[in-house]
Amino acid sequence: MDDVLDFINAELESHDVPMKTIMQIDIAVEELFVNIAHYAYNPDVGEATVAVDVEEAPPCAVIRFIDRGKPYDPLSREDPDVTLGVEERQIGGLGIYMVKKSMDEVVYTYEDGQNILTIRKLL
């Protein structure tokens, strides 16, 4: 996880992305990468690619996660009811919900045997 965050943060910092935005992106990246690590290949082991781009028009950070694990669209899951108490909520789904709320765009596709999850954060 540290290597992934160091890689992304170095790219974002080289483009003078504000620290508050980097922290929001880091939380989303950690949630998504840990989910891939735990679920994409379980119980096997596999590769995941993380790519980061900073685009100029409009200015935004784009992070792409690509794996060849089990096909899974985390966006297809219904958002948790955050008005319920902790004891009343179903387990799971809160992390991707937080990602969807903190990023400006979250898109999932499955192409050529690959899960591709892209997050975009306006700068």
Would you identify the CATH topology of the domain 2-122? Heat Shock Protein 90 (3.30.565)
Instruction: Please tell me which residue, 45 or 80, carries the higher pLDDT value.
Output: 45
Please state the pTM of the whole predicted model.
0.88
Domain coordinates in residue numbering, the chain: 2-122
Cis peptide before 74 (omega within 30 of 0): no
Tens of pLDDT, residue by residue over 28-64, are 999 999 888 888 888 888 899 999 999 999 999 999 9
Report H helices in the chain: 2-14, 19-35, 94-102
Instruction: Please tell me which residue, 57 or 78, carries the higher pLDDT value.
Output: 57
Instruction: Please tell me which residue, 73 or 88, carries the higher pLDDT value.
Output: 73
Give me the chain's average pLDDT, please: 90
C-alpha closest to that of 7 among 55, 65, 57: 65
